[in-house]
Chain A
Amino acid sequence: DADVTQTPRNRITKTGKRIMLECSQTKGHDRMYWYRQDPGLGLRLIYYSFDVKDINKGEISDGYSVSRQAQAKFSLSLESAIPNQTALYFCATSDPPEGETQYFGPGTRLLVL
């Protein structure tokens, strides 16, 4: 089984809808991250969490919110989806002893119509 899983893997929604992307990990890591990737571009950090009680905004947090329900779960919500949030979303985890080595999930492909 994969260490970092994301659900759903693909999602089509309409403008204005609220949606949630979920990330679960079995690595026992305290740190979790959400990134988005637009076609032809690198990943950009949306939010990150260094432990259950710690939530931080990343480079592009506007229009997004997150919830760290437990060490193993980190959810990303789009409160009112808009077409320019169409992108590939990745969750990642890391563990301080391993420095900046992050382990990524398989991604969620989101299309906002």
Chain B
Amino acid sequence: DAKTTQPTSMDCAEGRAANLPCNHSTISGNEYVYWYRQIHSQGPQYIIHGLKNNETNEMASLIITEDRKSSTLILPHATLRDTAVYYCIVVGGTSYGKLTFGQGTILTVHP
């Protein structure tokens, strides 16, 4: 299974875009990149996922590099409520149906 590497923490000013990077250099062709977040000690919340193409939904955008070895989650206009731990997870293939959470990135949005 592909491992992911994320920065431990990041800061962002309210109203600005938050760009959260993730490295997954050993990702396989049939593995997806999923992003979840966890606000304080609540249950994790699904944000977005992708395979090859960039994706956008009402919460965020996901940019995946052409070689698929890294990706960036973009929160276009961060708010204080976006302060959370963000998890980048590679899943699929033999890990089908099982999410492996690393330590994630603690994003702090400042006023």
Contact = CB atoms under 8 A, between A and B. Distances in A.
User: Main SS of chain A's interface residues?
Assistant: strand
Contact of A100 (B87, B91, B102): B91
A50 interface: yes
A101 B41 contact: no
User: Main SS of chain B's interface residues?
Assistant: loop
A90 B41 CA distance: 10
B49 A102 contact: no
A92 B38 CA distance: 14
Given A42-B103, A100-B32, A100-B91, A48 B98 contact: yes
Interface string B48-74: 010000000000000000000000000
A103 interface: yes
Interface residues of A, number: 27
Nearest to A96: B97
Nearest to A109: B41
Given A41-B103, A50-B97, A92-B43, 15 more contacts: A4-B43, A31-B97, A35-B101, A40-B103, A42-B101, A42-B102, A44-B101, A45-B98, A59-B100, A99-B32, A100-B92, A100-B97, A104-B45, A107-B42, A109-B41
Interface of B: 32, 34, 41-46, 49, 87, 89, 91-92, 96-104
26 contacts: A4-B43, A35-B101, A40-B103, A41-B103, A42-B101, A42-B103, A43-B44, A43-B101, A45-B98, A90-B43, A92-B43, A92-B44, A94-B97, A99-B32, A100-B32, A100-B34, A100-B49, A100-B96, A100-B99, A101-B46, A101-B49, A104-B44, A105-B43, A106-B42, A106-B43, A107-B42
